[in-house]
């Protein structure tokens, strides 16, 4: 009986510590908290007395003829129990019957009861110094691009998910939300200054000037991903585009269009169309609702009849009402 109680106590304490950590992460708004909860859920439920005893590892016969779930060796170490005990203790209520060491029935009932079962208890637990200190390195992790955008910009309600990103303008470095382009037809292009296709800048600018009055926006993203053909600084790129090709369509600072963390817009466009940029001047067309419609490879010129025909068809559609 003592062996069973000792094993269950060690397992419950360890599981409680993991469960409390997951709860505290949720309460503190930890980024990607769903992934953390999914990861620790199997561990946190090991101590659930209502679980199917026929599933998983075989039960070890106990002294009283019953069985119990074996505790992994590291968790059976008293040093581990001592280390996580303060965290588990944080969730105990002041009138926890387990406080009476002579009441065996009360101790068994306390092990079976859910920890921090009331929201107020969980909130208080998450604010404890021990939990705060444990979470400090995790909460300092940087937010994702979309979370930074949501935190920094009051996004319009009618902004499509694809445009809920923020990038710095090439010419000024000023952060701007892509939501400013909602209701427009977009031609999104990854550009380079020293590529065999660089001459397409002229065609892109001509296309922009021809259709911008009807709602077309050409959006450029310089990138050095392919062939190292965009080695310059943002200022150098801006001067080159303006002085050489008279570019006036919106362009944003140089970024990698092949890395999700650097340019989530291109990650979303690649996922929606099923094709990622293979070289400079790959083109994506987005309709007025913020839905990626098609992708065109680098060889497709801005005046290609198929591309122009698609743009005209999308421009003919009315912009969604805001």
In tens, the pLDDT along 247-268 reads 999 999 999 999 877 899 999 9
pLDDT at residue 152, rounded to an integer: 47
How many separate helices (H) and strands (E) can be counted in the chain? Answer: 12, 8
DSSP for 205-258 reads HHHHHHHGGGTEEEEEEE--TTTT---S-HHHHHHHHHHHH---S-BB----SS
Distance CA 294, CA 88 (A): 54
Cross-strand partners of 189: 220, 283
pLDDT at residue 210, rounded to an integer: 97
Rounded to an integer, the average pLDDT of 27-43 is 48
Cross-strand partners of 292: 286
pLDDT at residue 51, rounded to an integer: 44
User: What is the set of active-site residues?
Assistant: 195
| CATH number for the domain formed by residue range(s) 145-316 | 3.40.30.10
Please, which pLDDT band fits residue 50 given cuts at 50, 70 and 90?
very low
Is the confidence at residue 167, as pLDDT, over 70? Answer: yes
The beta strand positions in the chain, using DSSP E, are: 60-61, 67-68, 166-168, 175-177, 185-191, 216-222, 283-286, 292-296
Q: Indicate the pTM of the whole model.
A: 0.56
Rounded to an integer, the average pLDDT of 132-159 is 57
Please, which pLDDT band fits residue 218 given cuts at 50, 70 and 90?
very high
Nearest to 146 by CA among 5, 268, 240, 7: 268
pLDDT at residue 231, rounded to an integer: 97
pLDDT at residue 91, rounded to an integer: 46
* Residue 180 or 109, more confident: 180
User: What is the pairing mode between strands 292-296 and 67-68?
Assistant: unpaired
pLDDT at residue 5, rounded to an integer: 55
Rounded to an integer, the average pLDDT of 164-190 is 96
- Where do the structural domains in the chain lie, given as residue ranges? 2-139, 145-316
Rounded to an integer, the average pLDDT of 26-35 is 48
Query: What's the number of CA atoms in the CB half-sphere (13 Å) around residue 58?
Result: 2
* Residue 168 or 88, more confident: 168
Output the average pLDDT for the chain. 75
pLDDT for 96-112, tens place per residue? 444 445 566 665 655 55
Is the confidence at residue 140, as pLDDT, over 50? Answer: no
Is the confidence at residue 227, as pLDDT, over 60? Answer: yes
pLDDT at residue 105, rounded to an integer: 66
pLDDT at residue 176, rounded to an integer: 95
């Amino acid at each position: 009986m003592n062996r069973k109680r000792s094993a269950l106590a060690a397992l419950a304490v360890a599981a409680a510590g993991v469960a409390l950590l997951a709860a505290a992460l949720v309460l503190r708004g930890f980024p990607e908290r769903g992934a953390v909860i999914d990861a620790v859920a199997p561990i946190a439920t090991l101590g659930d007395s209502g679980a199917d005893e026929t599933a998983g590892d075989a039960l070890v016969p106990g002294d009283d003829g019953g069985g119990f779930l074996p505790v992994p060796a590291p968790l059976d170490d008293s040093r581990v129990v001592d280390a996580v005990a303060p965290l588990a203790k944080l969730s105990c209520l002041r009138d926890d019957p387990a406080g009476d060491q002579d009441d065996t029935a009360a101790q068994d009932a306390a092990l079976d009861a859910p920890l921090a079962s009331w929201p107020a208890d969980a909130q208080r637990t998450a604010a404890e110094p021990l939990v705060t200190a444990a979470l400090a390195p995790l909460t300092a992790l940087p937010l994702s691009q979309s979370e930074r955008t949501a935190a920094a910009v009051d996004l319009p309600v009618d902004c499509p998910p694809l445009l809920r990103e923020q990038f710095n303008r090439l010419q000024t470095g000023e952060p701007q939300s892509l939501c400013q382009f909602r209701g427009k037809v977009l031609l999104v292009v990854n550009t380079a200054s020293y590529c065999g296709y660089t001459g397409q800048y002229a065609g892109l600018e001509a296309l922009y000037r021809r259709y911008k009055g009807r709602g077309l926006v050409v959006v450029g993203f310089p990138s050095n991903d392919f062939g190292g053909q965009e080695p310059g600084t943002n200022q150098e790129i801006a001067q080159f585009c303006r002085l050489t090709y008279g570019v006036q369509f919106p362009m944003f600072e140089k970024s990698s269009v092949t890395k999700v963390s650097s340019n989530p817009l291109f990650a979303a466009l690649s996922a929606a169309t099923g094709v990622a940029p293979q070289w400079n001047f790959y083109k994506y067309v987005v309709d007025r609702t913020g839905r990626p419609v098609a992708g065109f490879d680098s060889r497709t010129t801005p005046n290609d009849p198929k591309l122009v025909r698609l743009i005209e068809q999308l421009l003919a559609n009315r912009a969604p009402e805001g």
